[in-house]
């Protein structure tokens, strides 16, 4: 009988204070959830002011009750600009839309070269395209007419950006001379200079690259890169031994001297120390 009486007494209070589904009995606020308070009159937890449990409790058709039990605007809806993201404004239909200078769809940009950057919400060049030099790498420039980045003179991304005798250094993005070619004298050894017509290192005056750069009676010294006389060859008598004379760029034995046994009469041999026949 006492239990029935308790229910009859508490029922009006439950209806009056609108206890939510799942409300539990309480004696103090800490007995309730974070978005509730303890109604000590009814002895049950109730929704606290500023919180909600149902969309209808928000009192605004543009709002809904979030999982945190707070009334928030439905996605994309608003009353004022401040209800939208920083790059949006609230239009007359109470929708958040892109503000001037911003975008939320690709079709709001120049479809030929741009797309809407989903993070910055501004029209940006599509990969491989540009609007200004700042959209290109440091070794490139933007060709506005085509919306494409082009490498600066002497710079490159691939070998095809360079001359046929060059290769692309992918670390520096400079075109470098292929082996045995040159751009300037820096690509050549000390004894050579860069022939800019053929982009090849050639011997400087007074030096040689190979025997072809020398006279027939000379050869190109491997270390010195100077034309040196072949053995027993000369330009003048001073290039020969004291027992020799220079005849048509050959060092020939003077009269009474010899170079080889054949310079002596039969039965004699050429002494290679005295260069006399004995």
For 190-210, the pLDDT digits (tens) are 999 999 999 999 999 999 999
Tokens read off for 229: 């006389």
Instruction: Give exposure, 192-226, as e/b (b: 16+ Cβ within 10 Å).
Output: bbbeeeebbbebbeebbbeeeebeebbbbeeeebe
pLDDT at residue 23 in the model: 73
Tokens read off for 123: 């029209």
Tokens read off for 95: 């929708």
Rounded Cα distance between 216 and 210, Å, is 12
- The pLDDT of residue 106 is above 70: yes
**For 4-18, 186-200, 251-265, which range has the lowest pLDDT when averaged over its residues?**
4-18
Answer yes or no: are the C-beta atoms of 203 and 213 closer than 8 Å: yes
Q: Under 8 Å CB-to-CB from 118, ≥6 apart: which residues?
A: none
Expressed in angstroms, the distance from the first to the final Cα of the chain is 159
Closest CA to 32 of 11, 10, 49, 47: 47
Q: What is the Cα 23 distance to its own chain's centre?
A: 60
pLDDT at residue 22 in the model: 53
Tokens read off for 201: 């290192």
Kindly report, residue by residue over 116-174, the tens digit of the pLDDT.
999 999 999 988 799 899 999 999 999 988 899 999 999 999 999 999 999 999 999 99
Rounded Cα distance between 17 and 46, Å, is 7
Kindly report the length of the chain.
Answer: 278
For tokens 């239990």, name the residue.
3
- The pLDDT of residue 220 is above 90: yes
Rounded Cα distance between 71 and 263, Å, is 122
- The pTM of the whole model exceeds 0.85: no
Q: In whole numbers, what is the pLDDT of the chain averaged over residues?
A: 90
pLDDT at residue 270 in the model: 95
User: Coil, strand or helix: which one is 184?
Assistant: coil
Measure the CA dihedral 81/86/87/91, to 10°. Answer: -10
Count of Cβ atoms closer than 10 Å to residue 6 Cβ: 9
Q: What is the Cα 202 distance to its own chain's centre?
A: 36
């Amino acid at each position: 009988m006492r239990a029935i009486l308790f229910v009859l007494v508490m029922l009006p209070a439950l209806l009056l204070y609108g206890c939510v589904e799942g409300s539990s009995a309480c004696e103090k606020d800490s007995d309730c959830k974070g978005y509730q308070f303890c109604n000590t009159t009814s002895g049950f937890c109730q929704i606290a002011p500023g919180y909600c449990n149902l969309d209808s409790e928000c009192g605004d058709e543009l709002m809904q009750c979030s999982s945190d039990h707070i009334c928030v605007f439905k996605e994309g809806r608003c009353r004022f600009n401040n209800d939208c993201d920083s790059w949006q404004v609230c239009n007359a239909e109470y929708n958040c839309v892109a503000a001037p200078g911003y975008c939320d769809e690709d079709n709001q940009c120049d479809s030929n070269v741009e797309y809407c950057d989903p993070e910055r919400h501004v029209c940006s060049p599509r990969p491989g395209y540009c609007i200004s030099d700042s959209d290109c790498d440091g070794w490139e420039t933007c060709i506005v007419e085509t919306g494409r980045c082009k490498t600066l003179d002497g710079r490159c991304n691939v070998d095809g950006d360079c001359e046929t005798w060059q290769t692309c250094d992918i670390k520096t993005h400079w075109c470098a001379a292929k082996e045995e070619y040159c751009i300037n004298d820096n690509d050549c050894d000390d004894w050579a200079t860069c022939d800019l017509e053929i982009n090849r290192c050639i011997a400087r005056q007074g030096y040689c690259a190979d025997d072809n750069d020398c006279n027939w009676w000379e050869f190109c010294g491997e270390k010195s890169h100077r034309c040196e006389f072949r053995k027993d060859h000369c330009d003048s008598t001073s290039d020969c031994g004291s027992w020799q004379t220079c005849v048509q760029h050959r060092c020939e034995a003077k009269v009474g001297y010899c170079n080889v046994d054949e310079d002596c009469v039969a039965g004699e041999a050429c002494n290679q120390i005295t260069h006399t026949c004995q």
